[in-house]
A and B are shown apart, each in its own frame.
Chain A
């Protein structure tokens, strides 16, 4: 059982190798089979491993296997070793299962693209790296997967590399996440220096024994690792890359920028939760960052008119919710929301991809309309996804996961009313912008005709994901409704149980409050965008709208603060100073050559004279000694 966990990351990597080496020579069908098939096999393997693990819980908490020794240098010992416990199992399940559906979708979506094999090679590499990330037993291997997904993100965002804008977007993503990665590797250095090991379990154990809660080194390390998480998960202040990353194909946005890579930060914080418990300041910071991000992104989503950008800001906002949950110590709620969000966000991105494709690459929602009657299946699945996103009460999975977070944001030990208020406003905004999106895109008159209808390979994953977006929540029902705790029981094997404040507020009250707010938001969207569009017209052209649309001006801020000075500095160093030093040395040698070659003028008597002078000098020197 334990050994074949190693197959889980290995098979997609093998698929990448085959596709990278032989891709251009294979037929589309073979590439599709290899690309999607490898992820499918891994989904199956995860299922088997998962069932095995579930059976042996709670006695056996995890399966571990060491494949081979990677680094053995002095104090540093790192192996290629994987371990599957409850947390990694959930992540693996989402990555492989949702990933498989997305790969199936891509076989038809990218069918006419000339980079077909390249696409699947990169996607397989991504899945392999992400699986390494979540299955890694030591933090260096985790960082390997971390870097791998960053690379694949760059490659896939800039997939259509012939268009320069895509290249810029890819570079922006890579550079901004790089800032986070640097913080993270410094954090890893600090951890290794303090404890002499890189195995995660050992690190957590030693940290809890040796470090005092609130000590500066714990705060430093936690803050550094948080920096890494912020970069990858596109939270404040490193969130500017995600909207631009929508330049990549829609399956990429679905897989990487909705379901998996951007949740790597959540995984990291959950995995190293001991450190964050030891640094309460940092944990509070996580909650505050999450709350702020979800609000800022929520407002920004309201003002976008590119369909995918709305979804991008929505992703940032939803991950803000996950960070909020992590910040108040609601570990299982965060992971639960991650899973449900993966379902409905992937669904939304895939459906948006279908819409954009059939409307001939039209991204502007104000140029769409009336697609309800033209593409019923897509409309229905999109509606279910948006409903789940808005946390429509009782019937969508999103309701249960988001509601759990809202509940814990106020009732957890470190929760506060302010955080709950931020969450509630965010929920209102979410409902508002999701249904704005639905009403403008699918209702009203048809502004652009769809060119064709999507085929089976694109529709079936949509349907499956839609079903999951509804029933996925039923594994974790709150006490007041069904009191099923399948999910949190699973997670509590690895992560600590959520500690709730003594004075319990009434759970039903808060649930009804959130339900009312969501319904209000949907109604407002209906009013402002469908029934009486005039209401929203003035807002559409206001300055506030423009401010929201530009993502609250963060891009401009970073441009002024960082980009312009760097460009100015590199202008100064245009004739590379250090290169100049090297050239200077060689010029000096050439100059010396020119001077000294005057003495080689071929004149015999000159040479004789130099002999004589030399003899005179040497003799004089010797005699005078």
Chain B
């Protein structure tokens, strides 16, 4: 049985989340941004599993399964969109897709 304190477990999940966040803010290549989002999803799911173990209920794991399916769909759609962007702009630079800029 794991006797690591719950706080440390959640902290670990939090660190993973923040790493994903940093990756999202820093990287310019859109593949990396999507990857960082995946990291964040994963860490959120990790928190659910921690909670499930903590409260001894299966609901957390059920939630993780749903998160998983949502993530899968999201990745599929996001990558499809990414392909479209690449074909249109010929680059994967996030700063180049600024057509919604307010021209003033």
Contacts and interface: CB of A to CB of B under 8 A. Distances in A.
Do chains A and B make direct contact within the complex (CB under 8 angstroms)? yes
Interface of A: 593-594, 597, 600-605, 608-609, 612
Given A612-B21, A612-B25, A605 B104 contact: no
Contact of A600 (B33, B97, B102): B102
Given A602-B97, A604-B33, A608-B25, 9 more contacts: A594-B104, A600-B101, A602-B99, A602-B100, A603-B95, A605-B25, A605-B28, A605-B94, A612-B25
A609 B22 CA distance: 10
Interface of B: 21, 24-25, 28, 33, 94-95, 97-102, 104
25 contacts: A593-B104, A594-B104, A597-B102, A597-B104, A600-B100, A600-B102, A601-B101, A602-B97, A602-B98, A602-B99, A602-B100, A602-B101, A603-B94, A603-B98, A603-B101, A604-B33, A604-B94, A604-B95, A604-B97, A604-B98, A605-B25, A605-B28, A608-B24, A608-B25, A609-B25
Contacts of B95: 603-605
A285 to B, nearest CB: 68
A600 B101 CA distance: 6
Nearest to B30: A604
B24 to A, nearest CB: 6
Nearest to B104: A597
A51 B75 CA distance: 105
Nearest to B21: A612
Contacts of A604: 33, 94-95, 97-98
A120 to B, nearest CB: 61
Nearest to A601: B101
Contacts of B25: 605, 608-609, 612
A601 B104 CA distance: 10
Contacts of A594: 104
A601 B96 CA distance: 11
A601 B100 CA distance: 8
Given A593-B104, A594-B104, A601 B98 contact: yes
Contacts of B101: 600-603
A587 B97 CA distance: 31
Smallest CB-CB A-B distances: 4 pairs: A602-B98, A602-B101, A600-B102, A597-B102
A603 B33 CA distance: 14
B94 to A, nearest CB: 5
A538 B21 CA distance: 107
A435 to B, nearest CB: 82
A612 B100 CA distance: 21
A555 B25 CA distance: 80
A508 B100 CA distance: 104
Contacts of A593: 104
Contacts of B98: 601-604
A594 B95 CA distance: 21
A603 B94 CA distance: 7
